[in-house]
Amino acid sequence: MSPTRSTPRVHTRRRRSPRELRRAAPLFAALGDDVRLGLVNRLCARGPMSTMRLSEGAGVTRQAVSKHLEVLEAAGVVRSMRVGRERLWEVDPSELRQAQEWLGSISRDWTGALKAYAG
């Protein structure tokens, strides 16, 4: 009997289409700013909040918070609703799930590549 040799497992990476990359870029660009990431973190932890409440302790003006929220809204990360005279902001979980899937995919790609190089 001849000894069996295990063949190294080749990790196949899924190539992302240009369309997928274009769709994901605004999401990660929006989350790439520390102020915006902090706003998303606060909304995740505390639920819907007004612009005024979000600006408290944010380290930037209420006007700056509004601009950051507009960027997050354009990327689909947050959405707003009118309640009386206030505008309340909340996280849109579908886009954060999409970001989580992207990061998981990237992590698996890196893990597979590192294992392949380690032999």
Which of 62, 100, 105, 48 minimizes the C-alpha distance to 40? Answer: 48
Residue 25 CA to residue 108 CA, distance in Å, equals 19
Query: For residue 19, what is the DSSP state?
Result: H
Domains of the chain: 18-118 (1.10.10.10)
Question: At residue 105, what is the residue type?
Answer: S
Model pTM score? 0.73
Q: Is 11 helix (H, G, I), strand (E, B) or coil?
A: coil
Residue 12 CA to residue 107 CA, distance in Å, equals 13
DSSP letters along 46-97, please?
H-SEEHHHHHTTSSS-HHHHHHHHHHHHHTTSEEEEEETTEEEEEE-HHHHH
pLDDT of residue 46: 95
pLDDT of residue 28: 86
pLDDT of residue 57: 82
pLDDT of residue 13: 57
Tens-digit pLDDT string for the chain (119 aa): 545 554 444 445 567 778 877 888 888 889 899 999 999 999 999 999 999 999 998 889 999 999 999 999 999 999 999 999 999 999 999 888 888 888 888 788 777 777 777 76
